[in-house]
Amino acid sequence: MAYLDNVLARASAREAGADEALMLNTRGEVACAAAANIFWLKEGLVHTPDLDCGVLDGVIRAWVLAMCRNLGQPAAEVRMPLAALADAEAIFLTNSLMGVRAVSRLDGAPIGAWPLLGQLAAQFAKAGISPAF
């Protein structure tokens, strides 16, 4: 798998003052961040792009979905356009290196906090999950 598009997108985002880039698939659906899986909370439901969106089936992505089930937090794998993030109550990213990290801004607009995100981050740290190298 080639990640040149992801590397270039992240470099472009950093030049614009952002830490990360949001990637869409060829259908214009939310796929991932340049170096992470993406989740968002909307109307009490945690969303993440479906694997059919071309996302990496990340270890931490799967762990977050399992933790949501364990915590009684409804979650769904979806196919959504970028507009779906416009009114997200919270957004967070995951990968094996950073764990679970909140997004504070999307295109310069502030994003809200989600109390359960702290629980997920704490559970991640407690689980001692190490990168799959």
∠ CA 70-78-105, nearest 5°, is 85
Q: Are strands 109-110 and 105-106 parallel, antiparallel or unpaired?
A: antiparallel
Q: Establish if 43 belongs to a structural domain.
A: yes
Which residues make Cβ contacts (< 8 Å) with residue 95, sequence separation at least 6? 35, 36, 37, 58, 60
Query: CATH number of the domain that 46 lies in?
Result: 3.20.10.10
Q: Establish if 132 belongs to a structural domain.
A: no
Number of domains in the chain: 1
Report pTM. Answer: 0.87
Per residue in 20-52, pLDDT (tens digit) is 889 999 999 999 999 999 999 999 999 999 999
Per residue in 40-87, pLDDT (tens digit) is 999 999 999 999 999 989 999 999 999 999 989 999 999 999 999 999
Full domain range(s) for residue 104: 4-127
